[in-house]
């Protein structure tokens, strides 16, 4: 089914991303990222130079100024994932969807001027730290505290599973600045790599996204100046997180659809090439029927995602609509990937093949950004008349 949400500007931008892929997303590079467990800074700087990260950073701070138009980010996701580089797509996503928005939409003028120019060039990489060893879904159960002192805060606690946590220069960190768990007991503070008492724990070994770092962070009496309080006002952290969650969830839905599309394309190509019993794999009725299912699912995914992209651009994508997109798209992604791996036979299990890596990457889409159970909880509450 033809998609009609992209105009000439998006397609011209797609050419820029394709050119970047040709130059920087080689097999050698991918193997390097996987072995190191992180994306090298030179690649992030090249992405900044090419203008494919920091997309929502306003022009005055050196970015592309595409504030509400997530279609440009969707183009980046589609092209990088189609190139079999899920880890790079993940690193770009953390920068543009999880870190930059807190400064662009909620930062003070000083915070914007200090960090946004570097975030557009890749010189300043960001991360978002909410999850703790004892609290993931239940965000208000966090224990990391920020105690008010003269000129700032003293932070104590720990975070885990933080994407880009090792490579990030600044970490937007969800902390308790008040008592209890009322929404106004929380704030977002920017912790800077190198601050005294801010340490990285052990490297976490994941089943997928091998080339993107995921870290534990620990804070021991870290002094954070008050200028690093996002928005300059205490007690807004929970509301600020809620404001960005629709974007985070839409971004995971887009990544899921892009992976499903890529899997379909790789599988059609592979099954046309490979033979068994004197026939091409694609000529078996089972293969064609499975591909018919997958192709239809991918069409439906784009139809739904494109509608969400449009709603987001118009400022109309609500939290529960974004939750629907996230869980539905990532579950369809999972089914598609599983079917496609099967059609690759044994090669589908070998991580040299993009299909195997995409399958392993896909698993966490149903877990992070809020688990799919939490998404269903969000969607079902208004249906059931609950708050």
Ligand X SMILES: Cc1cc2nc3c(=O)[nH]c(=O)nc-3n(C[C@H](O)[C@H](O)[C@H](O)COP(=O)(O)OP(=O)(O)OC[C@H]3O[C@@H](n4cnc5c(N)ncnc54)[C@H](O)[C@@H]3O)c2cc1C
Grouping H, G, I as helix, E, B as strand and the rest as coil, residue 229 is: strand
Q: How far apart are the first and last CA of the chain?
A: 38
Q: Interface residues for ligand X in 277-336 (CB under 6 A)? A: none
The Cβ of residue 270 has, within 10 Å, a number of other Cβ atoms equal to 19
Q: Please state the closest distance from residue 277 (CB atom) to ligand X, in A.
A: 41
Query: Which residue is at the shortest CB distance from ligand X?
Result: 136
Nearer to ligand X, 17 or 88 (CB): 88
Interface mask toward ligand X for 202-221; x: CB under 6 A? ----x-------x-------
Element (H, E) at 163: strand 152-163
Nearer to ligand X, 296 or 351 (CB): 351
Question: Which of 176, 174, 173, 165 is CA-nearest to residue 190?
Answer: 173
29 vs 36: CA distance, rounded Å: 10
Question: Which of 108, 100, 107, 87 is CA-nearest to residue 43?
Answer: 87
Q: Please state the closest distance from residue 82 (CB atom) to ligand X, in A.
A: 21
Q: Please state the closest distance from residue 272 (CB atom) to ligand X, in A.
A: 34
Bridge pairing between strands 275-276 and 145-149 = unpaired
Residue of 76, 128, 190, 224 that binds ligand X (CB under 6 A)? 128
Size of the site for ligand X (CB under 6 A): 19
Distance of CA 248 to the CA centre of its chain: 7
Grouping H, G, I as helix, E, B as strand and the rest as coil, residue 142 is: coil
Nearer to ligand X, 51 or 246 (CB): 246
**Exposed, middle or buried: residue 56 (CB in 10 Å: 0-12, 13-18, 19+)?**
buried
The answer to whether 248 is a known catalytic residue is yes
Nearer to ligand X, 131 or 339 (CB): 131
Q: Interface residues for ligand X in 344-383 (CB under 6 A)? A: 364, 367-368, 370-371, 373-374, 377
Nearer to ligand X, 163 or 228 (CB): 163
Q: Which of 79, 216, 248, 333 is catalytic?
A: 248
Q: Please state the closest distance from residue 168 (CB atom) to ligand X, in A.
A: 9
Residues 114-141: b if buried by 16+ CB within 10 A, e if exposed:
bbbbbbbbbebbbbbbbbbeebbeebee
Residue of 56, 111, 131, 244 that binds ligand X (CB under 6 A)? 131
Residue of 43, 163, 187, 240 that binds ligand X (CB under 6 A)? 163
355 vs 262: CA distance, rounded Å: 8
Question: Which of 157, 150, 185 is CA-nearest to residue 171?
Answer: 157
Nearer to ligand X, 131 or 261 (CB): 131
For residue 346 the two structure tokens come to 């044994």
189 vs 61: CA distance, rounded Å: 21
For residue 168 the two structure tokens come to 């990030």
Q: Please state the closest distance from residue 322 (CB atom) to ligand X, in A.
A: 15
Q: Please state the closest distance from residue 115 (CB atom) to ligand X, in A.
A: 18
Q: Please state the closest distance from residue 102 (CB atom) to ligand X, in A.
A: 12
Residue with tokens 């899921």, as numbered in its chain: 256
Indicate whether 161 belongs to the interface with ligand X (CB under 6 A). yes
Residue of 51, 63, 84, 136 that binds ligand X (CB under 6 A)? 136
Please list the residues that pair with 56 across neighbouring strands: none
Nearer to ligand X, 6 or 368 (CB): 368
* Cβ contact 164:125 at 8 Å: yes
Residue of 89, 103, 130, 305 that binds ligand X (CB under 6 A)? 130
Annotated active-site positions, please? 248
Write out the residues near ligand X by the rule CB under 6 A: 128-131, 136-137, 161-163, 206, 214, 364, 367-368, 370-371, 373-374, 377
């Amino acid at each position: 089914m033809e998609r009609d949400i992209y105009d000439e500007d998006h397609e011209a931008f797609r050419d820029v991303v394709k050119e970047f892929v040709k130059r920087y997303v080689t097999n050698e590079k991918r193997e390097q990222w996987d072995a190191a467990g992180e994306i090298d800074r030179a690649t992030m700087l090249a992405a900044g130079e090419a203008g494919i990260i920091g997309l929502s950073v306003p022009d005055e701070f050196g970015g592309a100024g595409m504030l509400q138009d997530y279609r440009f980010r969707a183009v980046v996701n589609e092209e990088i994932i189609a190139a079999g580089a899920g880890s790079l797509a993940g690193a770009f996503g953390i920068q543009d969807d999880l870190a930059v928005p807190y400064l662009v939409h909620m930062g003070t003028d000083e915070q914007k001027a200090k960090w946004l120019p570097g975030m557009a060039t890749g010189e300043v990489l960001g991360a978002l730290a909410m999850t703790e060893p004892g609290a993931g879904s239940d965000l208000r159960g966090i224990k990391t505290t920020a105690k008010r002192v003269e000129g700032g805060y003293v932070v104590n606690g720990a975070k885990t599973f933080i994407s880009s946590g090792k490579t990030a220069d600044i970490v937007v960190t969800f902390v308790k600045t008040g008592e209890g768990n009322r929404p106004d007991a929380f704030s977002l503070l920017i912790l800077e790599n190198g601050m005294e008492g801010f340490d990285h724990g052990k490297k976490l070994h994941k089943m997928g996204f091998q080339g993107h770092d995921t870290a534990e962070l620990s804070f021991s009496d870290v002094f954070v100046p008050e200028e690093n309080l996002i928005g300059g006002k205490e007690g807004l952290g929970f509301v600020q997180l809620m404001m960005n969650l629709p974007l985070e969830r839409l971004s995971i839905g887009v990544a899921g659809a892009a992976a499903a599309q890529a899997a379909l394309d790789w599988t059609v190509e592979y099954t046309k090439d490979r033979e068994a019993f004197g026939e091409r794999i694609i000529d078996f009725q089972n293969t064609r029927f499975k591909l018919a299912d997958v192709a239809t699912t991918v069409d439906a995914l784009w139809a739904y995602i494109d509608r969400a992209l449009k709603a987001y651009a118009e400022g109309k994508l609500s939290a529960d609509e974004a939750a629907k997109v996230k869980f539905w798209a990532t579950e369809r992604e999972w089914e598609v990937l599983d079917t496609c791996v099967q059609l690759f036979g044994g090669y589908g299990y070998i991580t040299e093949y993009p299909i195997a890596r995409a399958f392993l990457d896909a698993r966490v889409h149903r877990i992070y950004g809020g688990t799919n159970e939490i998404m269903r909880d969000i969607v079902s509450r208004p249906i059931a008349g609950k708050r």
